[in-house]
């Protein structure tokens, strides 16, 4: 198996300066994910499942440890990589599927979905974007409308179509099935299975892991860290 | 405590803009205290901070309107010297006309309010040496169109236009010569919300289509969140934090950044 990500002794604290307080999130957390492997994150609410995904995405910073991401031209530590490098990885190698669509005024649903294809230099991306919207069950008469006004479920379908249109090497999934109807959930699971068979490594948080039971290869159970400690600020 | 970030490895292009060790004093006040910035080609850098943090002073230096007490400024463009602060007045004006566009919060700073809008845009082209009327008119019109300015008003002076339209004229003037660097100083502050959204959308579209490198200063974090790839937080003339936009907004590290993000509505 080809290794995609090696997390080594990750430590994360949230320092709340105005309260002179430090909330520990992780200490010395280590795990690995291989190509085509699906790792499920488990644990009670607030244990840090989404925090861990955000640390890999680098919208949260890591305090100590390493996140070794294997690339064709060498390994890069996501915990320390330059911001501009992370921006490049987010465009073509690491995907993040969240529950929230960031709609921009006056940008249509089909353009939202086509954008990653345009960024990747793919010519004439609209037919592919429309096919993805169709797969997730977005009605054709909505394709040219701006998703800001869509219902939560419809927005989520646009979000999924966009996030899954290109096969990334590592896919982070933060409760993507929330607010989906049965049809869209089925389409999502089919797309994930397809990506997995193409070798995409996945790390996911699911409220109802039963939905994805047949995709799961391994589980990582996070344990609560409840103690509060004071820091000198 | 955060980890030290490494130099770029995947991105091999040199930064378009490099400022290093820039200090600017006004009497006893140190407005900028050894500030260093790098902006990569096609990137949008947002600068946030309270009034007096030095963010507008920094932008004025990037536009070569002012000279620092210390520091070096370079743009990675052909035939430009290593330190732009060392240019004489004539070369500075030429370099700005050719390579740098700016949109100010106050349109009076960027426009001649009594001249026609198309004339304001053409002035840029005149400085760059263009003298043919048809080219001036044609290029001016293209730039106004790209800024989504209603062309039937192109002969009206900015003094007769709404605030949002005045900003579009400034933007057209700024992009008329397809600059490498676009500087935006509170470009939508003072506009009402729907006009602000439309101007931001125009800017976003221009950035997407032309891959212009942009530095945007705003005290409005919503504007920065929509526009910027990377954010730099300034306080008392120093950079207290910089990072990817979503990181600075979701996991701010410095006490001042935390305060700033929490104060956002």
C-alpha to C-alpha distances, B223 to A125, A155, B50, B188, nearest whole angstrom: 29, 22, 15, 8
- pLDDT number for residue B219: 86
Question: Which of B9, B242, B253 is closest, CB to CB, to A85?
Answer: B9
**Å from B147 to nearest chain A CA?**
15
Distance, CA of B262 to CA of B239 (rounded, Å): 19
**Å from B94 to nearest chain A CA?**
31
* Residue ranges of domains in chain A, CATH in brackets: 3-230 (3.40.50.300)
Does A63 reach chain B within 8 Å, measured CB to CB? yes
Q: DSSP label at A69? A: E
Distance, CA of A196 to CA of B186 (rounded, Å): 45
Question: Taking a C-beta distance cutoff of 8 angstroms, is the pair A56, A94 a contact?
Answer: yes
Provide CB contacts within 8 A for B106, sequence distance 6+.
Answer: none
Contact list in B for residue A63 (CB cut-off 8 A) is 1-3
pLDDT tens string B193-249: 888 888 888 888 888 888 899 999 998 888 998 899 999 999 999 999 999 999 999
Of chain A residues 172-191, which have a CB less than 8 A from chain B? none
pLDDT tens string A138-176: 999 999 998 988 888 899 999 999 999 998 999 999 999
Mutation site for B-interface testing, chosen from A54, A84, A89, A169 by largest number of B Cβ within 10 Å: A84
Question: Taking a C-beta distance cutoff of 8 angstroms, is the pair B201, B171 a contact?
Answer: no
Question: Which of B6, B226, B243 is closest, CB to CB, to A80?
Answer: B6
Listed residue (B23, B95, B58) closest to B242, CA to CA: B58
The pLDDT > 90 percentage for chain B reads 70
Q: What is the mean pLDDT of chain B?
A: 92
Alpha-helix runs per DSSP H in B35-162: 55-62, 89-99, 107-110, 117-127, 133-146
A224: pLDDT strictly greater than 50: yes
Choice between A100 and B255, residue whose per-residue pLDDT is larger: B255
Q: Check A83 against B7: CB less than 8 A apart.
A: no
Residues forming beta bridges with residue A205, ordered by sequence position: A174
Q: Check B9 against A82: CB less than 8 A apart.
A: yes
Nearest CA in chain A to B13: A84
B48: pLDDT strictly greater than 80: yes
Question: Taking a C-beta distance cutoff of 8 angstroms, is the pair B257, B236 a contact?
Answer: no
Q: Starting at the earlier edge strand, list the strands of the sheet with A74-77.
A: A74-77, A64-71, A3-16, A21-34, A229-230
Q: Check B244 against A17: CB less than 8 A apart.
A: no
**List of E strands, chain B:** 17-26, 29-39, 44-48, 70-75, 100-103, 181-185, 213-217, 230-235, 238-244
Provide CB contacts within 8 A for A190, sequence distance 6+.
Answer: none
- pLDDT number for residue B109: 92
Q: How confident is the model at residue B55 (pLDDT cuts 50, 70, 90)?
A: very high
Distance, CA of B48 to CA of B94 (rounded, Å): 29
Distance, CA of A187 to CA of A191 (rounded, Å): 6
Distance, CA of A3 to CA of A1 (rounded, Å): 6
Q: Check A79 against B251: CB less than 8 A apart.
A: no
The pLDDT > 70 percentage for chain B reads 98
Does A54 reach chain B within 8 Å, measured CB to CB? yes
B128: pLDDT strictly greater than 90: no
Q: Residues of B at the A interface (Cβ-Cβ below 8 Å)?
A: 1-11, 40, 43, 197-198, 200-201, 204, 226, 229-230, 242-244, 246-247, 250-251, 253-255, 258-259, 262
- pLDDT number for residue A103: 66
Q: Check B6 against A60: CB less than 8 A apart.
A: no
Distance, CA of B254 to CA of B242 (rounded, Å): 10
Distance, CA of A121 to CA of A141 (rounded, Å): 27
Distance, CA of A170 to CA of B45 (rounded, Å): 27
Q: Check B8 against A85: CB less than 8 A apart.
A: yes
- B240-245: long-range contacts at Cβ-Cβ below 8 A with a sequence spacing of 24 or more? B242/A83, B243/A61, B243/A83, B244/A58, B244/A59, B244/A83, B244/A86, B244/A87, B245/B46
Helices and strands in chain A: count of H runs, count of E runs = 6, 10
Exposure string of B112-128, with b = 16+ CB inside 10 Å and e = fewer, is eeeebbbbbbbbbbeee
Residues forming beta bridges with residue A43, ordered by sequence position: none
Length of chain A: 233
Helices and strands in chain B: count of H runs, count of E runs = 10, 9
Question: Which of A84, A87, A105 is closest, CB to CB, to B197?
Answer: A105
Interface size A-B, in CB pairs within 8 Å, comes to 89
Does A87 reach chain B within 8 Å, measured CB to CB? yes
Q: Check B251 against A61: CB less than 8 A apart.
A: yes
- pLDDT number for residue B167: 92
What's the token pair of residue A119?
A: 């960024």
Distance, CA of B158 to CA of B120 (rounded, Å): 9
- pLDDT number for residue B231: 97
A228: pLDDT strictly greater than 50: no
Question: Which of B5, B198, B255 is closest, CB to CB, to A82?
Answer: B5
What's the token pair of residue B159?
A: 């003094």
Does A100 reach chain B within 8 Å, measured CB to CB? no
Distance, CA of B260 to CA of B255 (rounded, Å): 9
The pLDDT > 90 percentage for chain A reads 65
Does A210 reach chain B within 8 Å, measured CB to CB? no
**Å from A63 to nearest chain B CA?**
5
Q: Check A18 against B258: CB less than 8 A apart.
A: yes
Nearest CA in chain A to B231: A83
Mutation site for A-interface testing, chosen from B4, B5, B226 by largest number of A Cβ within 10 Å: B5
Listed residue (A16, A7, A30, A38) closest to A204, CA to CA: A38
Q: Starting at the earlier edge strand, list the strands of the sheet with B100-103.
A: B100-103, B181-185, B213-217, B44-48, B230-235, B238-244
Nearest CA in chain A to B227: A104
Q: Lowest mean pLDDT: which of A15-24, A152-161, A181-190, B71-80?
A: A15-24
Q: What is the mean pLDDT of chain A?
A: 90
Residues forming beta bridges with residue A66, ordered by sequence position: A8
Nearest-10 crossing angle of helices A152-163, A126-135 = 130
Residue A81 C-alpha from the chain's centroid: 18
Distance, CA of B199 to CA of B148 (rounded, Å): 9
Listed residue (B229, B175, B176) closest to B203, CA to CA: B175
| Mean pLDDT value of segment A187-209 | 94
| Mean pLDDT value of segment A43-54 | 92
- pLDDT number for residue B199: 85
């Amino acid at each position: 198996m080809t290794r995609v990500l090696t997390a080594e002794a990750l430590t994360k604290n949230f320092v709340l300066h105005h309260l002179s307080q430090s909330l520990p999130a992780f200490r010395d957390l280590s795990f690995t994910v291989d190509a085509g492997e699906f790792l499920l994150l488990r644990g009670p609410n607030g244990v840090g499942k989404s925090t861990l995904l955000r640390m890999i995405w680098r919208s949260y910073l890591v305090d100590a440890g390493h996140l070794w991401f294997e690339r064709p031209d060498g390994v890069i530590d996501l915990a320390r990589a330059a911001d501009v490098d992370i921006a490049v990885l987010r465009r073509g190698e690491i995907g993040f599927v969240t529950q929230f669509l960031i709609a921009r005024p006056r940008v249509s649903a089909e353009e939202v979905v086509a954008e990653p294809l345009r960024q990747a230099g793919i010519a004439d991306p609209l037919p592919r974007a429309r096919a993805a919207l169709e797969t997730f069950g977005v009605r054709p008469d909505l394709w040219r409308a701006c998703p800001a006004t869509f219902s939560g479920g419809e927005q989520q379908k646009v979000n999924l179509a966009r996030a899954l249109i290109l096969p990334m090497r590592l896919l982070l999934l933060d409760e993507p099935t929330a607010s989906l109807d049965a049809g869209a959930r089925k389409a999502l699971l089919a797309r994930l299975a397809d990506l997995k068979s193409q070798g995409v490594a996945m790390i996911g948080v699911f409220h109802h892991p039963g939905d994805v039971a047949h995709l799961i290869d391994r589980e990582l159970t996070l344990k609560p860290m409840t103690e509060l400690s004071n820091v000198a600020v | 405590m955060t980890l030290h970030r490494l130099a770029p490895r995947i991105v091999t292009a040199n930064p378009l803009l490099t400022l290093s060790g820039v200090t600017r004093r006004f009497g006893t006040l140190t407005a900028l205290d050894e500030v260093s910035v790098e902006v990569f080609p096609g990137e949008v850098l947002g600068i946030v901070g309270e009034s007096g943090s030095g963010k507008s002073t920094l932008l004025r230096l990037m536009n070569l309107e002012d000279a620092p007490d210390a520091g070096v400024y370079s743009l990675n463009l052909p035939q430009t010297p290593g330190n732009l602060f060392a240019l004489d007045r004539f070369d500075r004006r030429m370099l700005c006309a050719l390579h740098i566009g700016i949109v100010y919060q106050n349109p009076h700073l960027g426009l001649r309010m009594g001249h026609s809008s198309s004339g304001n845009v053409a002035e840029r082209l005149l400085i760059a040496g263009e003298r043919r009327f048809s080219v001036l008119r044609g290029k001016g019109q293209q730039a106004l169109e790209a800024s989504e300015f209603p062309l039937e008003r192109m002969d009206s002076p900015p003094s007769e236009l709404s605030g949002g339209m005045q900003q579009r004229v400034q933007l057209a003037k700024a992009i008329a010569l397809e600059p490498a660097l676009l500087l935006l100083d509170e470009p939508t502050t003072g506009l009402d919300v729907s006009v602000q959204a439309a101007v931001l959308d125009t800017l976003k579209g221009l950035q997407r289509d032309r891959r212009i490198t942009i530095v945007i200063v705003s005290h409005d974090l919503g504007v920065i969140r929509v526009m910027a790839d990377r954010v730099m937080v300034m306080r008392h003339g120093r950079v207290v934090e910089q990072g990817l936009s979503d990181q600075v907004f979701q996991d701010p590290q410095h006490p001042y950044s935390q305060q700033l993000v929490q104060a956002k509505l």
